[in-house]
Structure 1
Amino acid sequence: MKVFIEEQKFTQPLVIIGLAIAVIGAIVSVIVRLETISQSNLTEKLTALSGVIIVLLVILLFLNLKLKTRIDEQGIFYQFYPFHRSFKVIPWNTISNLYIRRYDAIFEFGGWGMKSILRKNKGKSYTTKGNIGLQLELNNGDKILIGTQKKEELQRVLNTYNKKAAYD
């Protein structure tokens, strides 16, 4: 039994730099207004600190975001944590077609992350970085793209299980 397991996170340098700039900007804005803030009441202090709190919450979210993929004899499992608390399962017999393809995250889906596009022909995407993904076309017409950084390993496992899918 072959098993494909992959865990991806948002580790791109631009994401890290962007978050660092946001933290620095929020902290600088508080420092600049520190004298005014220190003489304010509690509500005004919380309002002034809300920018820093929001930036810290966004950083906490990015630190915890993970795309997990597992493929085995039962089907394809994926989880975009913390939005999915457990794995979503796509049994082999519900897949009409699947293939590895290049995608353009910006133009096709509006960026990386968990995306559900209103244009039905694109479907949903779960990506963290890069431009290679596993495209799934389900028997009910739904489409799902799951990003990968392990194209060759994924292809080897798909070759093992391709006879289980409904399209064969």
Structure 2
Amino acid sequence: MKNTQVIFRERQRFRQFWLWALIIGIAAIFWAGFVYQVVLGGAFGNRPVTDVQLSIMLALIGFGLPFFFYWMSMTTEVQTGMLYVRFKPFHLKPVRIPLHTVRDYEKVTYSPISDYGGWGIRWGAKGKAYSMSGREGVLLHFYNQQPLLVGSQRAKELFRAIEQAKVSG
């Protein structure tokens, strides 16, 4: 993101308790299997894999899965005339949204599951969405493409920043 005046910046991470409970629960199964089979010498499951295979699965799922979800983040930045959204690690560079292409925008409360099928980078009947957690965001309406929802924990501030950046840009 360029070194110009930043009007608004927000970095979000997955914060849902149920999601972290699920991820840690899945990782814990692999930790328990590793300890039982490799450390204690038992056979984990009806058809146990080799110790090497279990070690690889522990590295990928026991360590890798929680780290991957911890590392994921969404950064939203508003600068004069431009909105940037980066969903790390899926975007190598931020998605640039020139605000002159935005016809209208509104602060919305939405249902992530029923409107877009969940959180993340989502496509649905209502358009595209970038969201990490929560139920609020700013819905952008364009002249020549489907709407885009940008989820935010600070939706009022994001709305005001877009308003300010659009006027000054």
For the superposition of Structure 1 and Structure 2, which TM-score range results when normalised by the shorter chain?
A: 0.7 to 0.9
1:84 is the counterpart of 2:88 = no
Structure 2 equivalent of residue 114 of structure 1: 121
Q: Supply the distance in 2 between the matched residues of 1:24 and 1:69 (Cα, whole angstroms).
A: 33
| TM-score normalised by L of structure 2 | 0.81
Q: Supply the distance in 1 between the matched residues of 2:118 and 2:156 (Cα, whole angstroms).
A: 24
1:24 is the counterpart of 2:25 = no
1:2/1:160 contact within 8 Å kept = no
Q: Supply the distance in 2 between the matched residues of 1:141 and 1:159 (Cα, whole angstroms).
A: 20
Structure 1 equivalent of residue 51 of structure 2: 45
1:123 is the counterpart of 2:127 = yes
Q: Supply the distance in 2 between the matched residues of 1:76 and 1:153 (Cα, whole angstroms).
A: 13
Shift of 1:6: 0.7
* Between 28-37 and 56-65, the greater mean CA deviation after superposition: 28-37
CA RMSD of aligned residues (A): 2.3
- Residue type matched to 2:66 in 1? I
1:61 is the counterpart of 2:61 = no
Structure 1 residue runs of 4 or more that deviate by more than 4 Å after TM superposition? 162-165
Listed one character per residue, the Cα deviations across residues 118-150 of structure 1 (whole Å, up to 9, x for unaligned) are x3xx22111111000111122222221111011
Listed one character per residue, the Cα deviations across residues 86-106 of structure 1 (whole Å, up to 9, x for unaligned) are 111111121122111011111
1:123/1:144 contact within 8 Å kept = yes
Structure 1 equivalent of residue 105 of structure 2: 98
1:93/1:164 contact within 8 Å kept = no
Q: Supply the distance in 1 between the matched residues of 2:50 and 2:143 (Cα, whole angstroms).
A: 55
| TM-score normalised by L of structure 1 | 0.81
- 1:147 pairs, out of 133, 144, 151, with 151
- Residue type matched to 2:58 in 1? V
Q: Supply the distance in 1 between the matched residues of 2:56 and 2:117 (Cα, whole angstroms).
A: 28
**Secondary structure at 2:163 match in 1:** helix
Q: Percent identity?
A: 22
**Secondary structure at 2:84 match in 1:** strand
Q: Supply the distance in 2 between the matched residues of 1:87 and 1:164 (Cα, whole angstroms).
A: 21
1:7/1:68 contact within 8 Å kept = yes
- 1:137 pairs, out of 136, 141, 164, with 141
**Secondary structure at 1:60 match in 2:** helix
Q: 1:87 to 1:46 in 2, by over 3 A?
A: same
2:84/2:97 contact within 8 Å kept = yes
